[in-house]
Amino acid sequence: MEKFITTIGLLFISVALFAQSGSKVKWDYTVKKLADKKYEVRMVANIQPGWHLYSQTQGADAIALPTTITFAKNPLLVVSGKPKEVGKVTDAFDKATQSRSRFYSNKVEFVQVVTVKSNVKTSLTGDVEFMVCDDKQCLPPDKSKFSVKLEG
């Protein structure tokens, strides 16, 4: 019985730790029309104080998981290049990963330009995979799914 209780307790602790990663970053998604059929999609990460989120680009020696944004295929859309990062990037030795990394604290915006091919309503969907760390630990990678509406 004691082993059973210990196993259940460890299971709850591991689930709680895994669930924490999402609570360290709140994602907001907005759309701004730039021109006829052309939109700017902003994926904003609001990062809890004391934590940081990694850039999409890391040095060769970095072991941190870079933020990856994946867009679902949509024949009605043209996604132009890779999302731009807007925010104050830190390029420094990361105590949690024991390597040099590029990361953001507090807030970072990933900006993607998208063109709708015709005068139709559609959506840009996908997910952001990311990892957060503080000075002592890293939480397991997490994903945030998104869907934003666009009109041609």
Q: pLDDT of 62-110, one tens digit each? A: 899 999 999 999 999 999 999 999 999 999 998 888 899 999 999 999 9
Q: Which residues pair with 150 in a beta bridge?
A: 122
Closest listed residue to residue 114, CA positions, set 147, 68, 67, 66: 147
pLDDT (average), residues 18-32: 80
Lowest mean pLDDT among 13-27, 68-82, 138-152: 13-27
Give the strands of the sheet with 89-94, arranged side by side: 89-94, 99-105, 52-54, 132-133
Q: What is the CATH number of domain 2-151?
A: 2.60.40.1250
